[in-house]
Structure 1
Amino acid sequence: MRIVITGGFGFLGRQVVDALLERRTLCGAAIDRLVLADRFVPAEATVASDPLVDVVQGDLHERLDEIFTQPVDVLIHLASAVSSECEADFDLGMSANLDTTRALLDAARAQSAAGGPTPRVVFSSSVAVYGSDPALPLPPVVSESTLPTPQSSYGTQKRVCEQLVAEYTRRGFVDGRVARLMTVSVRPGKPNAAASGFLSGIIREPLAGLPAICPVSPGLRVALASPRRTVEGILCIAEAGRGSGPGQLEGGLPVNLPALTVTVAEMLDTLRRVAGDAVADRVTLSPDPAVEAIVGSWPAAFDNARATALGLRPDASFESVVRAYVEDHPEAVRSADLPAAGAIGGRRID
């Protein structure tokens, strides 16, 4: 099996790659090649030396011939421009998100038309496809049957791509499936340009001994998923069979990955409870109406029934999310001023 992951060196890409390299199988078949396609390849990316891994570096739109030089069995499309980038630069978002996705789908279609395998395409969409339109306010709890009315360029681009995946699947060009991702928190590494980036930053930076800005009202409710749960959801949807039984993907609707609903105040209270006052006091409230307008337009409460039918569950609590982050990334946490001489998440982290 030859698997291609676009955005393979991005945050989620690396997480998915690590999971696949640990498993060495997908859909019950051995992975023969794992192709990581990305515009940038970090110099320290040791994963590139794994014998299963091939690297395709450069603009995705320009490297499709190289990606499809051999048959692609599974394509996990994670590469995209993020929310604030798309709002600031309309043409960038249209090119990186919409045009590139259509080009990928056309390349996959050409492969099957030429007698090759019909690729299984997993598209990473977003909760940003939803928004509260004045003529159609969001219901208190959102499901896949809720009409998406995005209120940002990023959300609109993701929604159009969802429809393209559905149409290419209906026509038999690809076997497409769409995972709508919740905001992922806590992301490791450096901040990115996503409007929702602060939902990781207000935890990640204080734990690292750095100040952080919270640009929204503490009472804002948000839907979150940990990196662990997000990767689990992506791979589950990639492997799901077609049908109506347990663990089967029925119909052509996207799947909203399971959501944990919390307020920003609850996130900050959790940080204070788990890591102490010195850490939590590194967060400063500084409202940014533009950020709150984008993030506040997204729904916060979801009916997880469709994901549950696939065996997926939301995170148990935000405290479990914070403790998992510390367990997975002890090198990113400054232990000196944590409670119990650096004990957190059931372990020491000095």
Structure 2
Amino acid sequence: GSTSITSLLNSEQRLTQLNIRLLQQSDFDSLDDIEIGFQAESFLCWAKLAVRFNAGMNQYRESILEALRLEGHHILEASPEVLANNLEAKKSSETLTEINDLQEAIATVIKQNYQTECEAIATARNISLTEYQKLKKRLSKTNKQQREQRRFELMLRYSIPITSELVEKDDAGWYQQLQLHYFMTVGRQYLVARDAEIAKTILELGKGNIFIPDFNDRLLGATIGVMELLKIPPLLKDKQRELKNIDEDLQLLAKTALANRAAIKTIVGIGLAVNSSPITIVRRFLDKIGYSLECLRTESHQKKRLRIYRIVHPDDGRFEVFQQWLQR
């Protein structure tokens, strides 16, 4: 992420202007009165915190140690002798076995507790819309109430039977992947109306004002526009196509993406290295919708080894969800 406040502010403002232009295509009549300068001090504070976080991630170890010092912890530098002794201890099979057994036991307990919670959410009591609205306003909720609220929200999201597997997939970001995939493909005709409705809600809640980061984060038009520009949707249609770095359309995709790395980072949130290969770029975009690539084989091409890939279409029940969304 960016470590420049000015750069971050400018990129968010450019994205806002892009989103507004896309909304104008839907004849959205509230754009004339929109106030993007609302809470400028909050926007600046957001940028400062974001830059601070990004800088901390760039120097993760130093940031953690400094945070520990600020909390009052004493950081002791281990001597070379101590480090050497620890390495020798780790090399012993008995110590390694103990460590592995402990890690496995902890992982097992964590997994069991999580699965129990997912099952509890899936089997929570069905509540009515009125009950949900009242529950949502409550500041203090019991575990039972939290599970009932979560189950109702999952029903609103997916409109399919709620299972523990669905809870797990939702926790892993499945809804965001499905939304992007749906509005990029079978639900494309509803994208503009969807973004317009969200923008209308944001403007009503803010009485004509918007907080730029929230506004940009909620809309999908710009992200899908980038993916369409790079011809990602056509790649999904041919399930048997084999992909390789020397494909002309993939090379054009990579050329376009690398020429617009900064914009892609701002709009889609994908950071691309200057030497990213076409396959790497395709994989990064497919990951946004929960798709992946599998390597089929390796061939020789001009005395070099060339890997051949194919897109993996997940069998995760998403098209059942899409059918429900189309009927709304």
Report if TM-score (shorter chain) is over 0.5: no
Q: 1 or 2, which has the higher helix percentage?
A: 2
Higher RCO, 1 or 2 (CA under 8 Å, sep at least 6)? Answer: 2
Larger Rg: 2
Q: 1 or 2, which has the higher strand percentage?
A: 1
| TM-score under structure 1 length normalisation | 0.24
